[in-house]
């Protein structure tokens, strides 16, 4: 079998999608493998990163000619251009997620640099204390995929980033440095969610629910890692965007505030002045003058 050419597929077991907006695909493992007698022949994807999440059941993977027994609960992280195939039991439970690697910041480098992934084990056993969090994240991702019908979604991107972060955290060795890294991973996952939803001004409780922790616990972790609260992180991102828009967009201060989720222009001005130290109008005038001088 190793002497035969390995076919190149677009999606998990099928040819390249012709959809111009295609960037991600999510389905249950059973939905695809059951139509192939529970076996996916060895193949590879040139530009796709794949996440195989197995909640229950059994199976094995053939990766670059080496066979690995799949031990649920686990995740298989598959970078582009790696030959892989699977056999699953009929009671398999889980999801397979395929992403155009270049469209997701955390995986974009894998199309050209994959050595680090090839040297490390790609099957990650999920610790029991992470399982509920990971399971909720992947299920929410699957629901978002169904709602969006595969169209690009900021929430999907954040959930995908969170899933990869969780897998990376599960790969960390036990020891003194692990707790700090674990907290940093949770903050990184929070920042990915904030990036996708900062215009909604979600409270800490909403982000905590998405991350499957309590709001108190999330705020404590964020304070330990960043010295700020969840609300502070959200407002920093909102104000960063407000500053960018005031300098580079033609919209009025009121329009910019509305685009960032502020229904009251006066409240937007107060928040901006508290965080930036100037009114939006004054900041716009000063920064545009400074920008004009540097481009002359």
158 plus 13 within the same structural domain: yes
Last-in-domain residue among 146, 171, 196: 171
0.85 surpassed by pTM: no
What's 127's DSSP letter? P
Looking at residue 255, which CATH number applies to its domain?
1.10.10.60
164 plus 245 within the same structural domain: no
* Highest-scoring range by mean pLDDT, 28-32, 46-50, 206-210: 28-32
The yes-or-no verdict on residue 289 having pLDDT over 70 is yes
Task: Flag the least confident range among 45-49, 121-125, 275-279, 282-286.
Answer: 121-125
Q: Which two tokens stand for residue 161?
A: 């980033």
Task: Flag the least confident range among 64-78, 120-134, 166-180.
Answer: 166-180
Respond yes or no on whether the N-terminal peptide bond of residue 73 is cis (omega within 30° of 0): yes
The yes-or-no verdict on residue 213 having pLDDT over 90 is no
Distances, alpha carbon 9 to alpha carbons 40, 59, 94, 128, in Å: 12, 21, 21, 34
Other C-beta atoms lying within 10 Å of the C-beta of residue 149: 7
Q: Which domain holds residue 8?
A: 1-171
The yes-or-no verdict on residue 222 having pLDDT over 90 is yes
Q: Which two tokens stand for residue 36?
A: 């192939």
What pLDDT is stored for residue 95 in this prediction? 94
Calpha distance 294→296 (Å, rounded) = 6
**pLDDT tens track for 258-286:** 999 999 999 999 999 999 999 999 999 98
Total domain count, the chain: 2
What pLDDT is stored for residue 179 in this prediction? 47
User: Strand 48-56 and strand 74-78: pairing?
Assistant: antiparallel
Domain for residue 207, yes or no?
no
SS3 287: helix
Task: Flag the least confident range among 73-77, 115-119, 191-195, 231-235.
Answer: 115-119
Domain for residue 47, yes or no?
yes
Buried-exposed string 165-196: b where 16+ CB fall within 10 A, e elsewhere: bbbbbbeeeeeeeeeeebbbbbbbbbbbbbeb
Percent of the chain past pLDDT 70, that is, above it, reads 77
**pLDDT tens track for 52-100:** 999 999 889 888 888 888 888 888 888 888 888 999 999 999 999 988 8
Last-in-domain residue among 115, 141, 171: 171
251 plus 162 within the same structural domain: no
DSSP string, 202-234: --HHHHHHHTTS-HHHHHHHHHHHHSS-HHHHH
Last-in-domain residue among 171, 189, 220: 171
């Amino acid at each position: 079998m190793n002497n035969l050419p390995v076919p190149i597929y677009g999606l998990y077991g099928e040819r390249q999608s012709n959809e111009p907006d295609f960037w991600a695909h999510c389905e249950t493992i059973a939905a695809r493998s059951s139509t192939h007698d529970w076996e996916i022949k060895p193949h590879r994807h040139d530009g796709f990163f794949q996440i195989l999440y197995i909640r229950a059941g059994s199976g094995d993977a053939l990766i670059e000619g080496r066979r690995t027994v799949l031990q649920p609960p686990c995740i298989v992280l598959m970078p582009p251009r790696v030959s892989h195939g699977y056999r699953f039991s009929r009671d398999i439970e889980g999801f397979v997620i395929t992403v155009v690697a270049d469209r997701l910041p955390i995986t974009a480098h894998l199309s050209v640099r994959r050595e680090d992934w090839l040297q490390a084990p790609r099957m990650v056993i999920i610790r029991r204390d992470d399982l509920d969090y990971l399971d909720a994240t992947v299920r929410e991702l699957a629901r978002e995929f169904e709602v969006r019908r595969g169209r690009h979604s900021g929430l999907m991107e954040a959930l995908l980033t969170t899933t990869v972060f969780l897998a990376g955290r599960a790969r960390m060795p036990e020891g003194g440095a692990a707790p700090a890294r674990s907290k940093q991973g949770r903050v990184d996952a929070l920042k990915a969610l904030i990036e996708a939803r900062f215009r909604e001004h979600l409270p800490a409780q909403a982000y905590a629910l998405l991350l499957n922790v309590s709001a108190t616990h999330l705020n404590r972790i964020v304070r330990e890692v960043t010295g700020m609260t969840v609300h502070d992180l959200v407002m920093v991102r909102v104000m960063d965007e407000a500053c960018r828009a005031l300098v580079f967009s033609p919209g009025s201060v009121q329009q910019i505030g509305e685009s960032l989720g502020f229904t009251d222009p006066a409240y937007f001005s107060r928040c901006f002045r508290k965080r930036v130290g100037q009114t939006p109008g004054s900041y716009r005038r000063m920064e545009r003058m400074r920008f004009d001088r540097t481009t002359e």
